[in-house]
Structure 1
C-alpha cells in the first residue's frame, strides 16, 4: 500500500502500543480530518449510539450494540446525528475502540480467519446479540494494554484479541463456498489485485500470474460479484483514487502517478468514467467536513 499523507496530524494515542501491537484507543483518526485513512485495524463498538458511519464512501447508521471492523487504508468518517463538532465531549461515551497493527497474526494462525483480509467479516456494521460480552472483553483488553509491558502481557493481549476476532467470525461467517472452483479462482485474483493494482490494470497480467485465462478470471468474477474481471480491477483502482482524493493532501497528479497513470489527463478521464465526476469535483465534496472516529471510554475499574 502506498504511503499516505493525512490531511491532519494523527492523534498520538491512535496507534497500538509497539510492544504489543494491540491496545485501546482514544482517537484512531485525528479530530477535524474530513475523512480519515486508518493505518491500523480498529474494532469499534457503539455503546450509547447511534453513530453515522461512512466506510469507503458507503454510509451506515449504527445503533447501540453494533460492531464495525475498520481495515487499514479504508476511508472512514464517523459522526453523531445532530452533532457537527468533532471535539464535542459527548463523543467520548459513544464507542469503545480497540486497535491492532496489520500482520499481528500469521497466515492460517486463526482458524477460518485471515485478519488482514480486506474482505473479511464485519465489513459493514454487525449488530451483536451479546454486546455486553464484547464490551467487557474490549474493556479488559484496553486495561491490560495500559499495564506494564512484557512477554507474558503480550501473549495475553494477543489471546484476548484472537478470541474477539474469532467471535466476530462466528457471528459473520459470510456465504462463500470454499469448495466452489470459481470462488477459489476469484479469491486468488482478489488477493493478487490488492498488491498489483497500483502497477497494472491489465486483466491479462493477472491471468498470467495466476496461470489461467482471461476468460476464466472473467467467468469467476461474474459468478462472485456480477462484474467482469476488468470491472473488478477498475473498481479497485477507482476506490483507491477516491480514498486518496478524499483523505489526503496529495495533488490530483500525485494520486494519478501513485495509481500508475503517467499523465494527469488519463487519470482524469478514467476517474470521470468510473465516478461521473472529475477528481476536483469529487474532492470538493469532502472539503472542511468535520468528524473522525469516536473515542472510547476509559476501562471501568
Structure 2
C-alpha cells in the first residue's frame, strides 16, 4: 500500500521516486546533519559537494520537490526544535549555537516557519 501511495505522490508532483539514484543528494543530506549548526546557505553546501548552487537546487527540486534552501531551513528548524525540547539551554544559547547573529534573528526565523515563538514552542511541547 505504501509503495502505491509513494508512486502516486511522485507521479503527481513529478518527482524522481528513488532517492538513491544520485549520490550528491545522499551526501547533501549527510552534510546537513553534520554541519547544520554552522552552515546554512546553499553555497556552503554546494562548495562542500563541489557542485554548482544551481545544480544542487535542481537536484533537490527533482528529488524532494523543494529547493535546497527550504531543505536547509527544515533541517535547521528540526535541530533547533530538538535543542528546545531536550536541553535546558536558553533561547540565546541555542541561537548562537546555530550560528544566528542575534537571538532576535533566531526568533524571527523560528516564528516564520512555525507561527509561534521558541519560548511558546518549548512551553507547549515540553509537557
TM over 0.5: yes
Counterpart-to-counterpart distance in 2, 1:279 and 1:197? 18
Q: Which residue pairs with 1:176 in the alignment?
A: 18
If each structure's strand is expressed as a fraction of its own residues, which one has the higher value? 1
Offset of residue 177 of structure 1: 5.3
For 1:230 and 1:286, the matched residues in 2 are separated by 26
**Distance change in 2, residues 1:197/1:245 (3 Å):** same
Paired residue for 2:36, among 168, 181, 197? 197
Q: Distance in 2 between matches of 1:236 and 1:195?
A: 11
Measure the CA separation in 2 of the matches of 1:195 and 1:177.
Answer: 19
2:78 to 222, 227, 239: 239
| Inter-partner Cα distance in structure 2 for 1:259 and 1:235 | 13
- Structure 2 distance, partners of 1:177, 1:249, is 36
Larger radius of gyration: 1
Count of matched residue positions in the alignment of Structure 1 and Structure 2: 111
TM alignment of 1:1-301, pairs within 5 A: 176=18, 178=20, 180=21, 183-287=22-126, 289=127
Shift of 1:212: 0.7
Taking only aligned residues, the RMSD between alpha carbons, in angstroms, comes to 1.4
CA shift at 1:262, angstroms?
Answer: 2.4
Question: Distance in 1 between the 2:125 and 2:19 partners?
Answer: 38
Residues of 1 paired with 2:113 and 2:78: CA distance? Answer: 10
Shift of 1:275: 1.0
- TM-score with structure 2 length normalisation? 0.80
For residue 193 of structure 1, report the CA deviation from its aligned partner.
1.4
Take 2:109 and 2:60, find their aligned partners in 1: how far apart are those partners? 21
TM-score (norm 1): 0.35
Distance 2:69 2:19 in 1: 23
Distance in structure 1 (CA, Å) of the matches to 2:90 and 2:19: 42
Alpha-carbon offset, residue 286 of structure 1: 2.3
